[in-house]
Amino acid sequence: MKKTNKKILRISGLLLLFLALLLVVHNIIQDKNAEKTSKQVLAKFEESKEQLQIATRTKSENTNTITNTLILPDEEEEILIVDVDGAPIVGVLEIPNIDLKLPVTVDWHEDLMWGYANLYHGENYSDSLVIMAHGNKSHFAGLNYLVEGDQVIFTDVLDRQKVYDFAGKEIIHENNVEEMIETNYPLTLFTCTLDGRSRVTVRLTEAELN
Partner 1 sequence: MPVIVNGQVVVELPDSNLNPVGNVYYLGSFSGNNLVFSEDFKELENRGLKITQSNYTDKNIQQSLEFFVAEKGMKPLVSLKTEANQLNFEPTEPGLYGIIYDKKKIGNNVYQFRSSFFNFNNQNLSFEIKPDKISVEAAEQILVRVRWLNIPAKDRPEYISLSLFSLGELLRTQTLDQNNLWSFAFTNLNPEQLYGLMLELPAGFAYRIRSVGAGQYVLEIYRTTASDPSKLEDPKSTGSQVKTDSIYTGKIRGDADDLGQKPDDELKAREEKLPYTGQLWWPVPLLIFAGLILFLLSILGEENEEN
Footprint (CB under 8 A) of partner 1, residues 11-50: 12-20, 23-24, 26-27, 30-31, 47-48, 50
Q: Does 210 bind partner 1 (CB under 8 A)?
A: no
Pairing of strands 187-192, 129-132: parallel
Rounded to the nearest whole angstrom, what is the least distance from the CB of residue 205 to partner 1 in the complex? 22
Of 91-99, 132-140, 144-152, 162-170, the segment contacting partner 1 by CB under 8 A is 132-140
Closest C-alpha among 145, 181, 185, 180 to residue 165: 185
CA distance 193 to 190: 9
Specify the stretch interacting with partner 1 by CB under 8 A; choose among 10-18, 95-103, 148-156, 163-171.
10-18
Cα–Cα distance for residue pair 101/117, rounded to 1 Å: 9
Do residues 200 and 144 lie in contact, with contact meaning Cβ atoms separated by under 8 Å? yes
- Tell me which of 91, 152, 199, 203 binds partner 1, using CB under 8 A: 199
Footprint on residues 50-69 left by partner 1 (CB under 8 A): 50-52, 55, 66-69
- Tell me the closest approach of the beta carbon of residue 32 to partner 1, in angstroms: 12
Q: How far is the CB of 208 from partner 1 (least distance, A)?
A: 27
Looking only at residues 80 through 99 of this chain, which bind partner 1 when binding is defined by CB under 8 A? 80-83, 86, 88
By the rule CB under 8 A, 74 interacts with partner 1: yes
147 in contact with partner 1 (CB under 8 A): no
* 206 lines the binding site for partner 1 (CB under 8 A): no
DSSP of 33-102: HHHHHHHHHHHHHHHHHHHHHHHHHHHHH-GGG--S-----SSTTBPP-EEETTEEEEEEEEEGGGTEEE
Q: What is the smallest separation between the CB atom of 206 and partner 1, expressed in angstroms? A: 20
- Look up residue 72 and give its amino acid: L
* Least distance between partner 1 and beta carbon 132 (Å): 6
Which residues 6+ apart lie within 8 Å of 174 measured at CB?
A: 196, 197, 198, 199
* Residues between 163 and 192 with contacts to partner 1, criterion CB under 8 A: 172, 174-177, 180, 190-192
Helix, strand or coil, per DSSP, at residue 171: strand
**What CA–CA distance (Å, rounded) separates 152 from 98?**
10
